[in-house]
A and B are shown apart, each in its own frame.
Chain A
């Protein structure tokens, strides 16, 4: 059997979170969507399919074959949509042809090698469409995530599921004097090299808390389950509230509620982050704060593919792309999207609901940012964590810089005119 995980055409709905990664490498719970799929099948993906322009950068990060249609030959196949949230007990039938659907969308399909051999297609999309027609369809109980806030909505349940599947609980690392596990003692997993320092509170009353290898929880931190603290992450005090995942190698303090910090990002200081997804290499300056609830309790609108879209949810925070940085005191409205590699200087009032990628935002205006300078800064930030930017990643960033040009050009031109008037130059 070959495990095939694919990214479908919905990846744009997750921008900017999916600029630098396939949809199936988004985090929900303590693990990535792909890792849940691999765990369910007890094996690494053999083949993955991603959008064409992500192929080279992703190929250096994975042992799977990438976008290789020929690799599907000669074996039974399980084709899994990478947007699926694999929690719970559903498992595909082995050794027969079947297609599991969520509405009109494919969650997964299983094909015997004989059926797979009969399918002729020029690309994977064609192969998948033909497969779906060739085999009997049934309704799946698994969810397909469609938008960024779905990751947040499902995060608590995903953490509970991840905890269950670790298969172990208890304190295997260090629990300092006066550190407390408040609630069921079997609802915590503290990995062998993790350290919970004195006077920290791990609150398991409402859900489990996972603290992974090398993580360190400083004094006066309160972590309320369900929550997951990733490998080598440091919680530097403050309130980590329910439904929060902090991925590997982050430094996080202040107040965080129902949010996902993907990996390698810092929110060291005070300030509130709620119902948010923060990508890699982000730095949130001291007192950066986002709203996640409107004063009139109405549903939050958010820009998706350039259009304002009603999320249908009253609790939506912000979504921040890779390498973006905010200054001290940045204030972010509910449902705000901050693109990747932007440098944002708060001006004491709420940011616009959408800040495009690769801009300098200051004095409430958008300015150009130099790509070489941004890339140099990114390389430095990564080097500080002993991570090297690959040439393929650098090429991907250049591609994304070009791809997002139209999103920012008009805003920059408009801002230039406003600045000239304000400075008395017009």
Chain B
């Protein structure tokens, strides 16, 4: 069965930030809880764009604070850009 958007967001986050997947919960904040430095945040945005074949507004994307909010934001982008 295909992974959900949430699962894919969490997998990419855990892999790129090299953190335990168990820590990548909806409530986890990228900077404070997962240790994403500014450079990693930029890579993370790029990785989500590539993973979901979407384009995100960089200013908006870098202001998304937590994993759960990233899932919601990416879900919205996927729906707008791919109609799903």
Binding site for B on A (CB under 8 A): 345, 360, 362, 367-373, 412, 415-417, 419-420, 423-425
Contacts and interface: CB of A to CB of B under 8 A. Distances in A.
Given A424-B15, A425-B51, A419 B46 contact: yes
Interface stretch (B28-36, B55-63, B71-79): B55-63
Interface in B10-28: 12, 15-16
Contacts of A373: 58-59, 62
A416 B46 contact: yes
B36 to A, nearest CB: 13
B39 A362 contact: yes
Nearest to B16: A423
B61 to A, nearest CB: 8
A336 to B, nearest CB: 22
A416 B62 contact: no
A416 B50 contact: yes
A420 B57 contact: no
A370 B59 CA distance: 5
B12 A360 contact: no
Contacts of B50: 416-417, 419-420, 425
* Best-buried of B46, B50, B51, B57 by chain A (most CB within 10 Å): B46
Given A362-B39, A416-B49, A368 B16 contact: no
B47 A368 contact: no
Given A370-B62, A373-B59, A423 B47 contact: yes
Contact of A415 (B12, B16, B45, B46): B46
24 contacts: A345-B39, A362-B39, A367-B42, A367-B43, A367-B46, A368-B42, A368-B45, A370-B59, A370-B61, A371-B59, A373-B62, A412-B46, A415-B46, A416-B46, A417-B50, A419-B47, A420-B50, A423-B15, A423-B43, A423-B47, A425-B12, A425-B16, A425-B47, A425-B50
A370 B47 contact: no
Contacts of A367: 42-43, 45-46
A416 B59 CA distance: 18
A251 to B, nearest CB: 25
What band does the interface of chain B fall in when counting residues whose beta carbon is under 8 Å from A?
Answer: 10 to 19
A240 B77 CA distance: 52
A238 to B, nearest CB: 30
Given A416-B49, A417-B50, A425-B16, A370 B43 contact: no
B81 to A, nearest CB: 14
Contacts of B62: 370, 373
A202 to B, nearest CB: 43
A417 B47 CA distance: 8
A323 B42 CA distance: 20
A417 B45 CA distance: 13
B39 A368 contact: no
B16 A369 contact: no
Nearest to B51: A425
Given A372-B59, A417-B50, 12 more contacts: A345-B39, A367-B43, A367-B46, A369-B58, A370-B62, A373-B62, A416-B49, A416-B50, A423-B16, A425-B16, A425-B47, A425-B51
B52 to A, nearest CB: 11
A425 B46 contact: no
B53 to A, nearest CB: 10
A416 to B, nearest CB: 4
Nearest to A372: B59
Given A362-B39, A373-B59, A368 B15 contact: no
A415 B61 CA distance: 18
A362 B42 contact: yes
Contacts of A412: 46
Nearest to A360: B42
B32 to A, nearest CB: 19
Contacts of B49: 416
* Best-buried of B51, B57, B59 by chain A (most CB within 10 Å): B59
B12 A368 contact: no
B72 to A, nearest CB: 19
B42 A425 contact: no
B65 to A, nearest CB: 15
A14 B39 CA distance: 32
Contacts of B51: 420, 425
B48 to A, nearest CB: 10
B35 to A, nearest CB: 16
The 10 A-B pairs of least Cβ separation, nearest first, read A370-B59, A370-B58, A372-B59, A416-B50, A368-B58, A416-B46, A367-B42, A420-B50, A423-B16, A367-B46
B45 to A, nearest CB: 7
Nearest to A367: B42
Contacts of A416: 46-47, 49-50
